[in-house]
Amino acid sequence: MSSPLLPERLARAIALAGPMSLSQFMGAANAHYYATRDPLGAGGDFTTAPEISQMFGELVGLWGADLWDRAGRPDVAWVELGPGRGTLAADASRAMAKAGLTPSIHLVETSPTLRTAQAERVAGATWHDAVDTLPADRPLIVVANEFFDALPIRQLLRGADSWRERLVACQDLLFLPIAGPPVPDAVIPAPLRDAPPGSVLEISPASVAVIRQLARRLAAQGGALLVIDYGHEGPALGDTFQAVRGHAPANPYDAPGEQDLTAHVDFTTLAAAAQTEGAVAWGPVEQGEWLIRLGIDARAAALARTTPERGDAIAADRVRLVNDMGALFKVLGVTAPGWPRPAGF
């Protein structure tokens, strides 16, 4: 007998225990979504920067190689969180090798479908279900591109007289957001406590937990973390919970497990969380500016000289990465104490 579909399981859980937190809903939906498909590319739901152009992954790889060189060329492990199809890791590895860096490659990925795609592009990689099993005997250079935006969030809503947590209810397999019980004022950042009714505050305890764990590793072992994602410098108000399906916006409460659920990343909170564990935070800076500082214009010109028939396409890819995505996407660096200032910050 086959197991119930995810919407049916979520509906049953709500029927038995009452409305669930948005964090539970988002976590369950994304876990199923990523475990059951390759969501990338024209035939999927969205496209990430590494899939747009090889320039992106190459510059990330050179960023890591430059930092490794200035740190004294230690024996390091290269780690990517949520590595998609492995495109970034493959492009970064090729660029790092030209700079003399050939680290062991470690991919934190739980999806069997995506692990298969990654194995085709990244030879000799080691896979991990979580960061707990990453090497503990050497510095780590960790890349998280469009990883934190998919981690579960909580939403807190300002009512007429109090803040309340957003919950998800269900009726006849129709999922809808509702206001839950009041939350203590202490949960809300002081500058936002008197926000007008209707205001929404998003927090992501899951994101804070991951970056604190990584920062502890860096402080103990050495190394660096590069976070690239869309988001803002908080604290900020606003409902950014969203879904994309077939490269178009969708209702995030429809068809759980069949579309990508994301929310904007609060880079201020991530930086502060890393610093509480003794690591050093750099940025955030806008992705467009960061890529320019790393030399994307020179790389685009070199590619156009090598393949002149692709000159227009390369120029369009550069515009997409630097201009179209450049301001919304931010880049945060985190380094171990005593490590050099990373390029681009």
Task: Please give the helix or strand (H or E) that residue 10 lies within, else none.
Answer: helix 6-17
User: What is the tens place of the pLDDT at every residue in 114-141?
Assistant: 999 999 999 999 999 999 999 999 999 9
With a CB cutoff of 8 Å and minimum separation 6, the contacts of 229 are 144, 145, 146, 147, 148, 149, 265, 329, 330
CB 130 within 8 A of CB 161: no
User: What is the tens place of the pLDDT at every residue in 181-209?
Assistant: 999 988 898 889 999 999 999 999 999 99
CB 156 within 8 A of CB 180: no
User: What is the C-alpha separation between 196 and 136, in angstroms, rounded?
Assistant: 47
User: What is the tens place of the pLDDT at every residue in 278-307?
Assistant: 999 999 999 999 999 999 999 999 999 999
Task: Output phi, psi for 203, to 5 deg.
Answer: -130, 155
Predicted local confidence at residue 2, as pLDDT: 45
User: What is the tens place of the pLDDT at every residue in 56-113?
Assistant: 999 999 999 999 999 999 999 999 999 999 999 999 999 999 999 999 999 999 999 9
CA nearest neighbour of 155 among 8, 35, 266? 266
Question: What is the arithmetic mean of pLDDT over 302-326?
Answer: 96
Question: What is the arithmetic mean of pLDDT over 140-168?
Answer: 96
Predicted local confidence at residue 37, as pLDDT: 86
150-177 core/surface letters (b: 16 or more CB in 10 A; e: else): bbbbbbbbbeeeebbbbbbbbeeeebeb
CB 198 within 8 A of CB 298: no
Predicted local confidence at residue 234, as pLDDT: 81
Mean confidence (pLDDT) of the chain: 95
User: What is the C-alpha separation between 325 and 183, in angstroms, rounded?
Assistant: 36
> Identity (one letter) of the amino acid at 230?
Y
pTM of the model: 0.95
User: What is the C-alpha separation between 37 and 71, in angstroms, rounded?
Assistant: 39
Neighbours of 7 (CB within 10 A): 19
CA nearest neighbour of 318 among 297, 343, 295? 297
If you search the block for the tokens 């896979």, which residue do you land on? 127
CB 215 within 8 A of CB 279: yes
With a CB cutoff of 8 Å and minimum separation 6, the contacts of 320 are 52, 53
Instruction: Kindly tell me if the per-residue pLDDT of 249 is higher than 50.
Output: yes
User: What is the C-alpha separation between 255 and 10, in angstroms, rounded?
Assistant: 11
